Amino acid sequence: MTSHRLIFIRHGETDWNVESRLQGQHDTPLNGRGRDQASAVGRQVRDWRGPDLADLKFVASPLSRTRDTMQLARTAMGLPPDAYDTDTRLLELTFGRWEGLTWEELKARDPWAAKAREGDKWNFTPPGGESYAMLAERLTPWLASIDRETVVVSHGGVARVLMALIANIAMERAPKSDIHQGRALIFEAGRCYWL
């Protein structure tokens, strides 16, 4: 899907992450730990990639948790915090009417839908939301537009879809992958690995 290296950073922790709430496209802020994670991953990328980071493209989802992560990471890299682009195609998949619920609340309210989602996470669409398959359709043109090595700050769902599109991880497995906060996921040469 792209011949250029992607350095993927998931946004830092939010209180909704801690509570296991479905954030989707709801705009939740970083908490203190998330801010620390953002700075730490910036230092990690700087130490791994070297001092010529200014030559890379930087792009983030437009939600505040990703923009704040990008700004803190760029500061830790020794770069101006605001010199990056945003792209709405990098938004998290939306959980529709499920956003704001915890997984436990969802299972209690709609056990059938929760079970159906577990049976086919890639194709299941929450009420008023998106499936991973739909997110893949949104991300494919963005991937085609990548013209150089890029640092991306986005969301767990986006990383899972990139794992399928770039690293050929099976659609059954990719949506179940753990996407860490405070670490960088590198996509290159048809594979992915964590720093």
Task: Retrieve residue 143's tokens.
Answer: 């991937």
Tell me the CA distances in angstroms from 8 to 87, 144, 172, 173, one per residue in order.
14, 16, 21, 19
Q: How many CA atoms lie within 13 A of 125 on its CB side?
A: 8
Neighbour count for residue 133 (Cβ, 10 Å)? 18
Taking the CB of residue 25, how many other CB atoms lie within 10 A of it?
A: 18
- For the chain, what's the residue count? 195
How many angstroms separate the CA atoms of 55 and 65, rounded? 24
**DSSP at 181:** S
User: Which residues belong to the active site?
Assistant: 11, 92
In sequence order, the 6+-apart residues with CB closer than 8 A to the CB of 189 are: none
